[in-house]
Amino acid sequence: MKAVTLIADWDPRPGFKLGSKDIEGRQTYLGSRVWRNPRLEIREYDVPKPGPGEVLIEVKACGICGSDVHMAQADEEGYILYPGLTGFPCILGHELSGVVVEAGPGAYDKRTNKPFKGGEPVCAEEMLWCGECQPCSDGYPNHCERLNEIGFNVNGAFAKYIVLPAKYLWSLEPLRERYGEEKMFLAGSLVEPTSVAYNAVIERGGGIRPGDNVVICGGGPIGLAAVAILKRHGAARVILSEPSPSRAELGKKLGADYIIDPTKVDFTEEVLRITDGYGASLYLEATGLPQIVYPQIEKTIWEGRTLNSTVVIVARADAKIPVTGEVLQVRRARIIGAQGHSGHGTFPRVIESMAAGMDMTPIITKKIKLDEVPEHIIKLQTDRTECKVTCVMD
């Protein structure tokens, strides 16, 4: 079978030291500090076989994530932009949905609590947690000490087939009635990125009270998912800060009440004008440019009247941000980091929200075939015309 594979050179920056789970020449938790000269190839692989507790999935849809783009994108010195766990060569793709083809012994469907038989529509968590370490035992599998990630250091889903342990799979059956057969798999491929947003604004950010104001910085798939989630959660004003007109329009479709173009207006002045001087209870940094965006958020918190604001940083970036402690102290504000999605039942809650009418499929602005994935990953490095480009398998 054909699969989109990322290759890069192990060439650590000066001063890099192997971490406890880093593997010399193969894997690191600090991708942008190590991997150089990324390139994409379509390689041939054998169809994998499921073992005990595993299932073979025929992939139906898989979205291109910003992480895929940044793993394949180099800085001026040739190092990849993505800062996290990476192990190359690796088949990319983690926003997947598909159909169970074959199941190994002991592979159970969580929805029915019965063995998979084949034919079940599923999506998959991207973060492969062990379930045994301290963070997993504490209920934080997305911070697993033995973490692996589909499409980052474990072969992913830009391929016809993928084998995964059944414990990471979630049934898409609740979506069938509302979305139908084909659209169900498109929606299913958006469960993972929507769950990242859910984890950021609900689990890590603590959610909001109905009637609160929120500001979403960045109208990419995660930011747009946060718009939809927080509007359904009862936000009075959902303000999306996004310069792209096409992404701003998507934001409106998904529930944004106001759009700010921070390249044309003063961010703080606009947020305070819209909120009658109060500002917001929750700010989401989903741009990947926290060194630029955070100072604007901080100024708004300082000049606004809302206490106890939460700033959630969800976009991955190898960048430091200037933080003024006095602002956090006086305004009783806090900064929270959010990683991934696993734990606290994010996947089933997102699936049920989608089944109840939270349709995320408008963010899919282009559908492509497997052979087109490499060129679109490269194109997305500089072209933000499309929001979510999704590979649909034949």
The CATH number of the domain where 301 resides is what? 3.40.50.720
* Pairing of the two strands 108-109 and 121-124: unpaired
Looking at the fold, whether 203 and 175 belong to one and the same domain comes out as no
Distance CA 87, CA 149 (A): 10
Residue-level pLDDT at 21: 87
Contact between residue 197 and residue 240 where contact means Cβ atoms under 8 Å apart:
no
- The verdict on 176 and 229 lying in the same domain is no
122 and 180 fall within a common domain = yes
Give the active site residues: 67, 70
| Number of folded domains that form the chain | 2
SS3 316: coil
Residues 22, 69, single domain; the answer is yes
The pLDDT of residue 69: 97
Total-model pTM: 0.94
**Quick check: is 351 in a domain?**
no
Structural domain range at position 14: 2-190+360-392
Based on the domain organization, do 111 and 256 belong to the same domain? no
Assigned token pair, 87: 């192990």
pLDDT of res. 344: 74
* Other CB atoms within 10 Å distance of the CB of residue 119: 8
What CATH number is given to the structural domain containing 376?
A: 3.90.180.10
Q: Which of 173, 232, 161 is nearest to 202 (CA)?
A: 232
Radius of gyration in angstroms for the set of CA atoms belonging to the chain, rounded to a whole number? 21
In a domain, 344, yes or no: no
> Residue 123: beta bridge partners?
97, 170
Q: Are residues 115 and 248 in the same domain?
A: no
Neighbours of 217 (CB within 10 A): 29
Q: What is the pLDDT of residue 384?
A: 85
Q: If the chain, 394 residues long, is cut into consecutive pieces of 10 residues, what is the mean pLDDT of each piece? A: 98 94 94 97 97 98 97 97 96 98 96 95 96 93 94 98 97 97 96 97 96 97 98 97 96 97 97 98 96 97 98 92 96 96 88 97 98 97 94 93
- The answer to whether residues 216 and 126 belong to one domain is no
In a domain, 314, yes or no: yes
pLDDT number for residue 141? 93
Whether residue 26 is found in the same domain as residue 94: yes
Instruction: Identify which of 238, 189, 192, 227 has the alpha carbon closest to the alpha carbon of residue 61.
Output: 189
d(CA 169, CA 164): 8
